[in-house]
A = this chain, B = another copy of it.
């Protein structure tokens, strides 16, 4: 369980017709989409300062820096009891990026005092939430390969009808990175189907291709990605993700509330009630451990049973100092993937490893 998507053969179906808003512009990846939007805002609206959540993927920060923005950070955690600590709106030269991190946020995405045209929303973790569909932000953007089995691809659109930038061509450097990712996905498929493949081979390609995903020049995505999008059954996949998340959350809560344990410092996110689908759909189930050490040992136990939970997001030292709450969340969290690839049996197996781990802890 876990890790990047393998290749999923796509047949023409039309099931993905409305996978993105009609006016969405495709990019090579999400960071390119953000970079292009910020450059557009700089040129058209004089944006100079970008407010970002402190707890965010560093490629988002790098894209803002590449667009020569002065970056400021605000507190925003995907925890149940937290609302973002919105910065006040001060000037037309400022833009605020909010993100539906892990698919847990709802109307929380909208800071009350900010003009819509000075807002960007990142819907990568649930491109089909109500917040995304009903957004009134100046711009919305997504990275596609986080929720869909595409080798690359990002998109930007403007719910407000602002002019949306567009990449001119498929850039050779981006094409090479995307082709490497595609080869890794196919190889992973062969591996999973039982053919003679060394896992290290596709892992190395995955890592290399991710490292080669650049911010600029902005590029069109691989034509393979563009052509498959209108045929991907995203609705069904999203239902499966929501169902899997609910199932896994239930199983994990059982482990954490066993009397011998200390549930007060452990947490499973999102909380199982109220039912939020289809308004929201978790990107993954998050397990918050008591501390980094426990998390790391649990991760090791999971990896030994071939469950590979990603960690969102290791922060650079300076960011961690400025925002200890974000660093603490990143240090204690494990993301348990629950997308359409997994059956209840797969999830049960992961839950069982976690249950055993905590029982041993308590013993």
Contact = CB atoms under 8 A, between A and B. Distances in A.
Report the interface size class on chain A.
Answer: 20 to 34
A80 interface: no
Nearest to A195: B227
A182 B230 CA distance: 22
A223 B197 contact: yes
A257 interface: no
Contact of A224 (B12, B186, B194, B224): B186
Contact of A196 (B176, B196, B226): B226
Given A183-B222, A223-B187, A223-B201, A228 B195 contact: yes
Q: Report the 7 A-B pairs with minimum CB-CB distance, sorted nearest first.
A: A195-B227, A179-B179, A179-B183, A190-B227, A201-B223, A197-B227, A12-B194
Given A9-B9, A201-B223, 11 more contacts: A10-B190, A10-B195, A12-B194, A175-B183, A179-B182, A179-B183, A182-B182, A182-B186, A183-B183, A190-B227, A196-B230
A282 interface: no
Contacts of A201: 223
A279 to B, nearest CB: 31
B227 A196 contact: yes
24 contacts: A9-B9, A10-B190, A10-B195, A12-B193, A12-B194, A175-B180, A175-B183, A176-B179, A176-B180, A179-B182, A182-B186, A183-B224, A186-B186, A187-B223, A187-B224, A187-B227, A190-B224, A190-B228, A195-B230, A196-B227, A196-B230, A197-B223, A198-B223, A202-B223
A81 interface: no
A114 B61 CA distance: 69
A30 interface: no
Contacts of A183: 175, 178-179, 182-183, 222, 224
A228 B189 CA distance: 11
Interface of A: 9-12, 175-176, 178-180, 182-183, 186-187, 190-191, 193-198, 201-202, 222-224, 226-228, 230-231
Contacts of A230: 195-196
A195 B182 CA distance: 18
A268 B11 CA distance: 38
Contacts of A231: 195
Nearest to A198: B223
A11 B196 contact: no
A230 B195 CA distance: 9
Contacts of A195: 10, 12, 227-228, 230-231
Contacts of A197: 223, 227
Nearest to A223: B201
Contacts of A198: 223
